[in-house]
Amino acid sequence: MLGNLVLRCSSGSRRVLLPIFVLFLVFSSSRAQAQFVLKLNDDVFVKISGQLQLWADAAQDAATDQYNKNLYIRRARIQLTGQVAKDISFFIQTDNPNYGKTPKALGTGFILQDGFAEWKAVGEAFMIDGGLMIVPLNRNELISTLSFITIDISPAANVNATPTQSSGTRDTGFQAKGYVADGRLEYRLGLFQGVRNTATATQVASHNAFLRAGWLSYDFWEKERGYVYAGTNRGTRKVLAISGGYDAQKDYKAYSASIHTTIPDAQKNEIAVLAQGCHYDGGKFLTTLPRQNDYLIELGYYINSLKLQPFVKGEDQKFTASSNPSKDQKRYAAGLNYYVHGTAFKWTGQVTHVVPANNAIRSTNEFTIQMQVYLN
């Protein structure tokens, strides 16, 4: 019905009435469907959502022993999810990460965090994605920022982001994706831009081979679907998944293996566990990425009656080269999630303790409080 509606008015009136009309559609749809959706028919629609994560953070400096204190917006995201036809969907997400954090720059603008289209060529067995998306290397980076067990992504899970010229673990490219073996085995195989050279007098720009990435994940219990996974399901789903990923470009290579589970009980309490290991080797191509093995384990327990989820985390970052012993370090963290209204409004507090292997470097602490608001 909406697809046949025509507005007949002057150009000046259209400039005023069209935004009002669009807002009317959004709010009328939200009342009817409990979400913000513009719908032309069952196959063509757009869903609008938004996310804010506000941080108060005090991170200790190993050199001075003083705390760097910041009040800033960790994430400010607007998401558009929709379909243009039955088997063709898209996802667009903007973000203004770390807004206001030192060095303070309040004049910066939003970036394109994600932007890709997906064609279900053979149903869910074979899909093609194209655009800007997460390079699928490890489970931790593929967890939704709304449902981390802890407060944020592990630093050891994205050490390759800057050397590979990605944008927050994202890169532009194409990816084949699907669910096979009764929908329990998910695969992702992609070609991404990776590192592009700058043109010189004797060298052509962008002559490098593309970055190659692959991902496999098998669900033993309930089946997971979507662009990202849930870190915690707050007692609503029973999940056990084992996963592995890789990415490589020239002689750079990285691998990961992980196991993740959320186990609810009859009262909808939940045990959530993520254990993950990653190997990175920049080779001669990415000299700023030393060879290393990084390990992560996270454990959370959701108490449904109290809407609380205490959690702990341990990380171990080990460099294999003898020239990097001072960089080895362990990180320990503990904290609490308070789901006031589920993921729509929650508080998180976390204390982190970093212990360098080199005794000449001081151990440091970090204290972080997060307020999350999510409109879906």
Give the tens place of pLDDT for each residue, 15-48.
444 444 444 444 444 444 456 899 999 999 999 9
User: Contact, 137 vs 160, CB < 8 A?
Assistant: yes
Q: Model confidence over 199-250: pLDDT tens digits?
A: 555 556 678 899 999 999 999 999 999 999 999 999 999 999 999 999 999 9
The confidence score (pLDDT) of residue 197 equals: 77
The confidence score (pLDDT) of residue 3 equals: 42
**β-bridge mates for residue 259, sequence order:** 242, 275
The confidence score (pLDDT) of residue 96 equals: 94
User: Contact, 21 vs 5, CB < 8 A?
Assistant: no
Amino acid of residue 118: E
Instruction: Reduce the DSSP state of residue 43 to 3 states and report it.
Output: coil
The confidence score (pLDDT) of residue 327 equals: 84
What DSSP element (H or E) covers 17?
A: helix 11-33
47-375 adopts what CATH topology?
Porin (2.40.160)
The confidence score (pLDDT) of residue 325 equals: 57
Detail the DSSP E strand segments found in the chain.
Answer: 36-39, 45-60, 67-85, 88-95, 111-124, 126-134, 170-180, 185-192, 211-219, 239-249, 252-264, 270-281, 292-302, 308-319, 329-343, 345-356, 364-375
pLDDT tens for the chain, 376 residues long, are: 334 433 344 444 444 444 444 444 444 444 444 568 999 999 999 999 999 999 999 999 999 999 999 999 999 999 999 999 999 999 999 999 999 999 887 777 899 999 999 999 999 999 999 999 999 999 999 999 999 999 999 998 999 999 999 998 999 999 999 999 999 999 999 999 999 876 555 556 678 899 999 999 999 999 999 999 999 999 999 999 999 999 999 999 999 999 999 999 999 999 999 999 999 999 999 999 999 999 999 999 999 999 999 999 999 999 987 655 568 999 999 999 999 999 999 999 999 999 999 888 899 999 999 999 999 8
Q: What is the dihedral angle through the alpha carbons of 344, 345, 351, 354, rounded to the nearest 10 degrees?
A: 30
User: Contact, 22 vs 338, CB < 8 A?
Assistant: no
The confidence score (pLDDT) of residue 301 equals: 98
Nearest to 186 by CA among 146, 133, 241: 241
The confidence score (pLDDT) of residue 234 equals: 98
Measured distance CA(137)–CA(214) in Å, rounded: 7
Nearest to 209 by CA among 169, 170, 157, 173: 173
The confidence score (pLDDT) of residue 212 equals: 98
Measured distance CA(139)–CA(171) in Å, rounded: 17
The token pair that represents 342 in the structure block = 């589920």
| % the chain with pLDDT above 70 | 87
